[in-house]
Amino acid sequence: MKIADVVKEQARKAKEASKVLAATETAQKNEALLLMARKLRENISEVAQANQDDCKEAQEKGISSNLLNRLKFDRAKIESRAAALEGIAALPDPVGDTDYCTRRPSGLEVKKMRVPIGVVGVIFEARPHVVPNVGALCLKAGNAAIMRGGSEALRSISIMGELWEKTLEESGIPTAAVYVISTSEREAVNTLITLDEYLDLLIPRGGIELIKLVKENGTVPIIKHFNGICHVYLDQSAPEGIATRVTHNSKLLMPEVCNAAETLLIHEKAARRLLPPVAEALVKDGVTLKGCPKAKEILGWMEDATEEDWSTEYLDLILSVKVVSSLEEAVDHINNYGSHHTDVIVTDDYNGAKKFSRGVDSGVVLVNASTMFNDGEQLGMGAEVGLSTDKLHARGPVGLRDLTSYKYVVEGSGQIM
Amino acid sequence: MKIADVVKEQARKAKEASKVLAATETAQKNEALLLMARKLRENISEVAQANQDDCKEAQEKGISSNLLNRLKFDRAKIESRAAALEGIAALPDPVGDTDYCTRRPSGLEVKKMRVPIGVVGVIFEARPHVVPNVGALCLKAGNAAIMRGGSEALRSISIMGELWEKTLEESGIPTAAVYVISTSEREAVNTLITLDEYLDLLIPRGGIELIKLVKENGTVPIIKHFNGICHVYLDQSAPEGIATRVTHNSKLLMPEVCNAAETLLIHEKAARRLLPPVAEALVKDGVTLKGCPKAKEILGWMEDATEEDWSTEYLDLILSVKVVSSLEEAVDHINNYGSHHTDVIVTDDYNGAKKFSRGVDSGVVLVNASTMFNDGEQLGMGAEVGLSTDKLHARGPVGLRDLTSYKYVVEGSGQIM
The yes-or-no verdict on residue B234 having pLDDT over 90 is yes
Among the ranges given (A12-16, A216-220, A323-327, B19-23), the one the predictor scored with the smallest mean pLDDT: A216-220
When pLDDT is cut at 50, 70 and 90, the band that residue A216 belongs to is confident
Query: What integer is the mean pLDDT of B214-219?
Result: 87
Q: What is the DSSP letter of B334?
A: H
Q: Tell me the chain A residues in contact with residue B201 when contact means C-beta distances shorter than 8 Å.
A: 391-392
Q: What is the pLDDT of residue A64?
A: 86
Residues B266 and B319: beta-carbon distance below 8 Å: no
Give percent of chain A with pLDDT exceeding 70: 100
Query: Could you tell me the pLDDT band of residue A100, with boundaries at 50, 70 and 90?
Result: confident
d(CA A119, CA A14) in angstroms, rounded, equals: 7
CB contact under 8 A, B378 and A245: no
What are the C-alpha distances in Å from B133 to residues A363, B178, B219, B377?
28, 11, 25, 11
The reported pLDDT for the residue numbered A382 is: 77
Taking alpha carbons only, the member of B394, B374, B397 closest to residue B384 is B397
Q: What is the pLDDT of residues B332-365, one digit of tens each?
A: 999 999 999 999 999 999 999 999 999 999 999 9
Mean predicted confidence (pLDDT) in B233-253: 98
Give residue-wise pLDDT tens across range A4-37.
999 999 999 999 999 999 999 999 999 999 999 9
What residues contact A186, with CB distance under 8 A and at least 6 apart? Answer: none
Residue B23: its chain A contacts at CB < 8 A?
358-359
Out of A108, A110, A369, name the one closest to residue B410 (CB): A369
CA atoms within 13 A on the CB side of B161: 19
Q: Specify the pTM.
A: 0.92
Q: Please report residues of B whose CB lies closer than 8 A to that of A141.
A: none
Are the C-beta atoms of residues A153 and A128 closer than 8 Å to each other? Answer: yes
Average pLDDT, integer, range B81-88: 95
Q: Please state, in angstroms and as integers, the Cα–Cα distance from residue A143 to each residue in A74, A115, A306, A390, following that order.
A: 28, 9, 46, 21
**What is the arithmetic mean of pLDDT over A144-172?**
96
Residue A227's pLDDT is what?
Answer: 86
Answer yes or no: are the C-beta atoms of A399 and A137 closer than 8 Å: yes
Q: What is the pLDDT of residue B119?
A: 98
Of all residues in chain A, the percent with pLDDT exceeding 90 is 86
- State the pLDDT at residue B96: 94
- Nearest residue on chain B to A394, alpha-carbon basis: B393
Separation between Cα atoms, residue A114 and residue A156, nearest integer Å? 34
* Residues of chain B contacting residue A387, judged by C-beta atoms under 8 Å apart: none
Torsion angle of alpha carbons B205, B206, B212, B213, nearest 10°? -80
The residue with greater pLDDT, A99 or A112, is A112
Give the integer Cα–Cα distance in Å for B180 and B132.
10
- For the segment A274-294, the average pLDDT, to the nearest whole number, is 98
Instruction: Find the Cα–Cα–Cα–Cα dihedral A3, A9, A13, A16, rounded to 10°.
Output: 140
**CA nearest B224 in A: which residue?**
A221
In B, minimum Cα distance to A114 occurs at B358
| pLDDT at residue A124 greater than cutoff 80 | yes
SS3 for A367? strand
Residue B99 has a pLDDT of: 83
pLDDT at B209 over 90: no
| Alpha carbon of A62: minimum distance to chain B alpha carbons (Å) | 30
Task: List pLDDT tens digits, range A325-378.
Answer: 999 999 999 999 999 999 999 999 999 999 999 999 999 999 999 999 999 989
Q: Average pLDDT for residues B63-90, to the nearest whole number?
A: 93
For residues A45 and A150, is the Cβ–Cβ distance under 8 A? no
Question: Mean per-residue pLDDT for A53-66?
Answer: 92
Residue A232 has pLDDT above 90, yes or no: yes
Q: Is B7 in contact with B192 (CB distance < 8 Å)? A: yes
What pLDDT score was predicted for residue B25?
96
Percent of chain B with pLDDT over 90: 87
Distance CA A367, CA A69 (A): 28
Q: Which residues of B touch A393 (CB under 8 A)?
A: 392-393
- Cα dist from B163 to A212, A340, B172, B403, whole Å: 40, 35, 14, 23
Bigger pLDDT: A64 vs B74: B74
Q: What is the pLDDT of residue B380?
A: 85
Tell me if A416 and B368 make a contact (CB, 8 A cut-off).
no
Question: Matching CATH topology for B3-223+398-411 and B230-373?
Answer: no
Residue with the larger pLDDT of the pair B12 and B212: B12
The answer regarding whether domain B230-373 maps to CATH 3.40.309.10 reads yes
Closest CA to A94 of A309, A382, A325: A382
The predicted pLDDT at position A370 comes to: 97
pLDDT at B412: 95
Chain A residues whose beta carbon lies within 8 Å of the beta carbon of residue B245: 414, 416
Answer yes or no: do A245 and B416 touch at CB < 8 A: yes
Interchain contact, B378 vs A408, CB within 8 Å: no
Q: How confident is the model at residue B106, as a pLDDT?
A: 94
Interface test with chain B among A97, A106, A108, A120, by most B beta carbons within 10 Å: A108
Q: What is the largest CA-CA distance in chain B?
A: 78
| Alpha-carbon gap, residue B181 to A243, rounded angstroms | 50
Taking a C-beta distance cutoff of 8 angstroms, is the pair A340, A218 a contact? no
Chain B residues whose CB is inside 8 A of the A257 CB are: none
The mean of the pLDDT values for chain A is 95
Please, which pLDDT band fits residue B371 given cuts at 50, 70 and 90?
A: very high
Calculate mean pLDDT across residues B81-91. Answer: 95
- B33-73 pLDDT, tens digit each: 999 999 999 999 999 999 999 999 999 999 888 889 889 99
Phi and psi, residue B105, nearest 5°: -55, -30
What average pLDDT does chain B have? 95
Does B110 sit within 8 Å of A408, measured CB to CB? no
Question: Is domain A3-223+398-411 annotated with CATH 3.40.605.10?
Answer: yes
Strand partners, B119: B144
Selected for mutation to probe chain B from A26, A232, A407, A413 (highest B CB count within 10 Å) is A407
Distance, in Å, from the CA atom of B126 to the CA atom of B151, rounded to the nearest integer, reads: 8
Parallel/antiparallel/unpaired status of strands A342-346 and A230-234 = parallel
Distance from CA of A323 to the nearest CA of B (A): 22
Whether B206 shows a pLDDT value over 80: the answer reads no
Pairing of β B119-123 and β B303-304: unpaired
Q: Which helix (H) or strand (E) holds A56?
A: helix A44-60
Find the CB nearest A396 among B22, B364, B408.
Answer: B408
Task: State the DSSP string of B96-165.
Answer: T-EEEEEE-TTS-EEEEEEEE--EEEEE--S-TTHHHHHHHHHHHTT-EEEEE--GGGHHHHHHHHHHHH
Nearest CB partner across the interface for A408, out of B396, B409, B413: B396
Domain range annotation of chain A: 3-223+398-411, 230-373
Nearest to A373 among B246, B379, B410 (CB): B410
Q: Residue B178 and residue B20: Cα distance in Å, rounded?
A: 13
Residues of B in contact with A353 (CB under 8 A): 411
Phi then psi for residue B123, to 5 deg, are: -110, 125
- Helices B75-90 and B44-60, axial angle in degrees (round to 10): 130
Closest Cα in chain A to B243 = A414
